Structure 1
Amino acid sequence: MSDIKYKRVILKVSGEALAGKDGFGINPEVIKDLAEEIKTVHSMGVQIAIVCGGGNIWRGETGAKMGMDRAQADYMGMLATVMNGLALQDGLEHAGVPTRVQTSIEMRQVAEPYIRRRAVRHLEKGRVVIFSGGTGNPYFSTDTTAALRAAEIEADVILMAKNNVDGVYSADPKVDPDAVKFEELTQLDIINKDLRVMDRTASSLSMDTEIPLIVFNMNEPGNIKKVVLGENIGTTIRGDK
């Protein structure tokens, strides 16, 4: 453990990342590969909590643009994150990693309700905890969930695992060949430059709690391990003001 820089982490995985090349739904191979990556880090003694997005199944914002009630559409998105959480739990337990799913909306037949003290106790006992259901409130993203849960469990860092994106750029590198990759930023930079790494609510909360964020490519094997060991990959977004 002496070589580990971050001993309790929140891993934020986008829904799109879980879809892999399919672009929609849950890709079993992606789940399997991610579970193995997490297993490697877990075996080092790192306490890992995970927040999954739901964009591979449903986006509340998209539903609202189609004319749905925004709150109703967001609740559907929360349910999508539960599906992703259960899929990832299954992958982790097949890999031999004890895992608990906690949801902000109670559904006791499939998962525990979110209880902060119980979540921390699971981490201390060496279990991975997956936080599903967002914050339980409409209008808040899973980025905000990650920032909120990180503060609640006193995580050392938020690891934002991206799908084939190796950090934060000044523009979309797939569109703009002159886009510049940032090695280090602050949350205030993210807000002022409108870089859209996290939504403004999540950035403001991370800035208030001073929890750093590291954006990196989850498709590169071994990257999660490299991050927790303190290797300089991706983009580090400092939590200080």
Structure 2
Amino acid sequence: MPAYKRILLKLSGEALMGDDAYGINRATIVRMVREVAEVTQLGCEVAVVIGGGNIFRGVAGGAGGMDRATADYMGMMATVMNALALGDTMRQEGMTARVMSAIAIDQVVEPYVRPKALQYLEEGKVVIFAGGTGNPFFTTDTAAALRGAEIGAQVVLKATKVDGVYTADPKKDPTATRYASVSFDEAIARNLQVLDATAFALCRDQKLPIKVFSIFKEGALKRVVLGEDEGTLVHV
């Protein structure tokens, strides 16, 4: 039995690039979708918030000097592109997914409506939240914390390239050790970078735990959902 009935998975856009400089690596997105399929087969309800850095990175060279709000709206559009790609890959893998956007693009994806999202989750569909929070100046980390709280997720799973939170940068310090768990207060005191400050504060206030793990480690998502010692749990 899964340790978590309902999860919010936060995927960065960069996670979809694989070894490419930008864009979406087909083999990478298929592998990630199959990992999600494994946990849905366990009976876990899955919602996903996805970033757009991989798409926006391709146009970043021409974005120098751009107004921050305009650049953020471009980033939101990039998250919609990634959400469509993720949803389509899930369909091809035999899953049922629904993409819901915080910014209105009715001809392409559904608008985000909380009761509808809850209905989809209860029906066993994967819900992919695109468009961030729908506002500039807020990251997709904040969108993950917000949507996680709204849908009653038991945990926010932050999928990264590193298999948890460490005492130091493991690439620079070979003696660095991984925290199995750490409290919100300890994370603040030790200046551990878990989520951006706004998202972190929201999770702490809502008593919504965060699990940081590596999406590039085969089977890690399933082990997290089963409650095994994988990644780092940040808790109240």
Shorter chain as denominator, the TM-score bin is over 0.9
The CA deviation string for residues 45-71 of structure 1, in whole angstroms up to 9 with x for no partner, is 110000111111226xx7899321111
The amino acid of 2:133's aligned partner reads T
Which of 84, 90, 98 is the matching residue for 1:92?
A: 90
Are 1:170 and 2:167 counterparts?
yes
Partner SS for 2:3: coil
**Residue 76 of structure 1, CA deviation:** 0.6
Partner SS for 1:144: helix
Matches within 5 A, 1:156-195: 156-163=154-161, 165-195=162-192
Q: C-alpha separation between the residues in 2 aligned to 1:53 and 1:26?
A: 12
Q: C-alpha separation between the residues in 2 aligned to 1:195 and 1:112?
A: 36
Are 1:219 and 2:216 counterparts?
yes
**Residue 107 of structure 1, CA deviation:** 0.3
The amino acid of 1:40's aligned partner reads E
The CA deviation string for residues 70-104 of structure 1, in whole angstroms up to 9 with x for no partner, is 11111111111111111110111111110000000
Which of 205, 209, 231 is the matching residue for 1:234?
A: 231
Name the counterpart of 1:41: 39
2:10–2:156 CA contact under 8 A, matched in 1: yes
The CA deviation string for residues 174-221 of structure 1, in whole angstroms up to 9 with x for no partner, is 122232321111223333322222011001000011111111111122
**Structure 1 alignment gaps of length 5 or more:** none
**Structure 2 alignment gaps of length 5 or more:** none
For normalisation by structure 1, the TM-score amounts to 0.93
Q: C-alpha separation between the residues in 1 aligned to 2:188 and 2:55?
A: 28
Name the counterpart of 1:25: 23
Percentage of pairs with the same residue: 51
The amino acid of 1:187's aligned partner reads F
Could you say if the C-alpha distance between residues 7 and 84 of structure 1 is closer, same or farther in structure 2, counting changes exceeding 3 Å?
same
* Aligned residue pairs, count: 234
2:69–2:137 CA contact under 8 A, matched in 1: yes
The amino acid of 1:153's aligned partner reads I
Name the counterpart of 1:72: 70
Q: C-alpha separation between the residues in 2 aligned to 1:200 and 1:180?
A: 23
**Residue 230 of structure 1, CA deviation:** 0.7
Q: C-alpha separation between the residues in 1 aligned to 2:138 and 2:184?
A: 18
